[in-house]
Structure formats: structure tokens, C-alpha cells
Amino acid sequence: MKESIWTRRRAAAPARETLSREQIVKTAMELLDTEGLAGLSMRKLAAKLDAGATSLYWHVPTKDDLIDLLIDEIWGEIDVPGPELAGWRNGAMLFGHSLRSAVLRHPWLPEVMYTRPSVGPNAMTLGSRGLVLFGAAGFTEREIDLAMSAVMSYVLGTANSEVATREMVRKSGQSLQEWAGDMLVQAEAVATDHPEMRASVRRRAHEDLNQSLTEHFVFGLEALLDGLESRITKK
């Protein structure tokens, strides 16, 4: 495994250097959120910062390093409440919603987050707070890791699917409701021999898709937490 930006010794910038790593990360985040990964290059970023490439590389030697910094910046946006404030279950719900919101704000994240380990300072803080939260539920040792992993896997999987849906809608040129309406019309047209599916399509025909996506997310997260809670009460 190659050395991480978090373990590599940071080189000192020249005395007259005015650009900061924080500025670079902020501008790169804005670029990615607007244009996606395909729109990010070190040359384009340097131009947006009105800085030379050499100046940029003093702070961030490679594009991979920049992605590592950006991912860790996002981990720092996620709220993990202390169990003493909300209790473990409410805390887990808030954590789940915060994680989902972060992925939807930064829809490029799913493309890169699984390609590298997250070992930056914000990732470490999030992980530590999450383990404290699930430890307060009554899980012990390995189960704490498994419980937190289960919640994160559910949230990330659901949010990633939602990102893909929203990207399909964007490429279609339709509004979210127009796209959903077309999908439902097509589904009903081919469901003539499947009355259960036809009934399901009709139930969803007039749903607000944004509201529906949130409802599906909340239902699944609550069901998962129900299951985790039942494991504790059986002990």
C-alpha cells in the first residue's frame, strides 16, 4: 500500500507562499460538487485559484492526495451525537441522516470513497464517536464494530442508490417528478400479468419522489435499528 498523505511528512512551503491547503480543499470541493470527478484536474484547480501549478503541488503533491483530503473534509461534516445527549438510538438516527445528507451534497463521493482507506483526522474522530455511541447501546467488543458497520453500510448503500437515481434524472433533462411519472407509466404498461406490481405502481403514482426517497430511507434505518435493539434486549 502506498504511503498516505496523513502519514507522509508535510514539506514546508516557501516563505512567500500565500496559498493554503485549506483554500485548495475548499475550492476543489466546490469544483467537484459542480462538475463531478471528470471536471477535476490539478491544472483546472490551479487556474481557479489563480495560482501556479508549482504553488499547488507544494501543498498537495498529487490528485490522489487531494481526493484523500476532500474525503476527510466530508467526514468532518457528519454529526455523531454523544449518547448522553440523545441516547444511542436517537443518536444513531441523527448520524444516519447526517451521513445521507453528506453523500447527497457531494454526489461524487461514492465513486472514490471505496477506493482508499479513510485514515484522516476527521475519519478517526467520526469513527471514535460512532464507537462510543454504539458502545452505549450495550453492544460489547466486536459487536460494537459490527453494529456501526451495519448502519453505515445501510446508509451509504441507500444514499449511493439515490445519487445514481438523481444522476439519471439529471441526464434525462426532466424534472424529478416528470421522470418518476414516466417510469411509473412504463412500469404499469408491462405489469399487466402481475397484479401485485400493478397495484404497487398505482400506489406510488402520485407520490412526491423526494418525500418518497426519504420515507424509504427512514423506514429501512428504523427497521435496522429495531433489529439491533432486539439483539441487545435478548442478552
Q: Domain locations in the chain? A: 21-74, 79-173+205-233
- Rounded-to-integer distance, Cα 95 and Cα 126, Å: 10
The better pLDDT of the pair 203, 44 is held by: 44
pLDDT of residue 234: 72
pTM of the model: 0.89
The whole-angstrom separation of Cα 12 and Cα 175 is 49
Would you put residue 19 in left (φ > 0), alpha (ψ -120 to 50) or beta?
beta
Residue 136 CB: number of other CB atoms within 10 A? 16
Find out whether 133 and 120 touch, Cβ atoms under 8 Å: no
The model's confidence at residue 118, banded by pLDDT at 50, 70 and 90, is: confident
Provide the pLDDT confidence category of residue 11 given band limits of 50, 70 and 90.
low
Sign of CA dihedral 131, 133, 136, 138: negative
Q: What are 106's three cell numbers? A: 457531494
**Length of the chain as a residue count:** 235
Cell reading at 183 = 417510469
Buried b (16+ CB within 10 A) or exposed e, 180-208: beebbeebbeebeeeeeebeebeeeeeee
**What band does 204 get if pLDDT is binned at 50, 70 and 90?**
confident
Q: Where residue 126 falls among pLDDT bands split at 50, 70, 90?
A: very high
CB neighbours of residue 129 within 10 Å = 17
Asked: is 21-74 a CATH 3.30.1280.10 domain? The reply is no
Q: Which CATH architecture has domain 79-173+205-233?
A: Orthogonal Bundle (1.10)
Percent of the chain clearing pLDDT 90 (strictly above): 54
Q: In one letter, which amino acid is 52? A: G
- Grid cell digits, residue 86: 440523545
Q: In this structure, what is the dihedral angle of CA atoms 89, 111, 30, 171, given to the nearest 10 degrees?
A: -110
Determine the Cα–Cα distance for residues 64 and 57; give it in Å rounded to an integer: 12
Q: Which residue blocks in the chain are alpha helix, DSSP H?
A: 21-35, 42-48, 53-59, 63-75, 83-105, 109-112, 121-135, 142-172, 176-189, 195-203, 209-233
